[in-house]
Amino acid sequence: MNPVESETKKDLRAAAHTLRELGPDYESEVIDGFLHRLDERLEAQIAVRVRRELEANPEVRRPARKERVDHPNAFQYASLVLAVPLSAIGAGVSHLPGLLVAWAGIVGLNFVQLRSRRHADGRRTRRDEWDD
């Protein structure tokens, strides 16, 4: 007999004994506790089997990650789309100064995003050359 089966049988007997002692008022709690322990055992067994299968069959290992599709200009396009309502709000609230502030923010964000992307790509900038 499998040791896990005997452990499950012991657990079932203990749950039945507990149920007899406590009575029908605690039936759902006792059954839920037994089922919870049974689920934990099953999950542990499944994890062990999956691990063994992966170790035995190297070609069945985890599927390759989907490579992230990089849309280099997505941020710029989104900022241009948002520029229309931001311009309208800025111009509506404080006319030309509001419009200038909105566009300064849009241009600033695009500049910062472009610099951070270049820096992440490993491209050298003039400031990087000063550090050498």
In a domain, 65, yes or no: no
- Give residue 102's pLDDT: 92
Q: pLDDT tens track of the chain, all 132 residues?
A: 566 668 888 888 998 999 899 888 888 898 999 899 889 989 999 999 988 888 888 776 656 666 666 677 888 888 889 899 989 998 998 999 999 999 999 999 888 888 887 776 665 555 555 554
84 & 45 share domain = no
- Please report the pLDDT score of residue 71 as a whole number: 74
Q: Write down the pLDDT at residue 43.
A: 92
Kindly report the CA angle at 14 between 20 and 48, in degrees rounded to 5? 145
Nearest to 8 by CA among 42, 32, 48, 50: 42
| Residue 20: C-alpha distances to residues 27, 35, 92, 100 (Å) | 9, 17, 77, 79
* Total number of domains constituting the chain: 2
3-class SS of residue 84: helix
Note whether residue 79 is domain-resident. yes
User: In this structure, what are the phi and psi dihedrals at residue 40, rounded to the nearest 5 degrees?
Assistant: -60, -40
Same domain, 23 and 48: yes
In a domain, 66, yes or no: no
Nearest-CA neighbor of 36 among 16, 8, 13, 17?
8
- The reply to whether 53 falls in a domain is yes
Do 54 and 78 belong to one domain? no
Rounded to whole angstroms, what are the CA distances from 125 to 34, 118, 122? 64, 8, 9
* 50 & 90 share domain: no
Domain of residue 109 covers: 74-130
For residue 127, the model assigns a pLDDT of 54
Assigned domain for 85 exists: yes
Same domain, 43 and 90: no
Q: Are residues 79 and 111 in the same domain?
A: yes
In a domain, 68, yes or no: no
Assigned domain for 8 exists:
yes
Tell me: do 55 and 85 sit in the same domain.
Answer: no
Residue 96 neighbours by CB under 8 Å, 6+ apart: none
- Cβ atoms within 10 Å of 81's Cβ, excluding its own: 10
Q: What pLDDT sits at residue 56?
A: 85
- Same structural domain, 121 and 80: yes
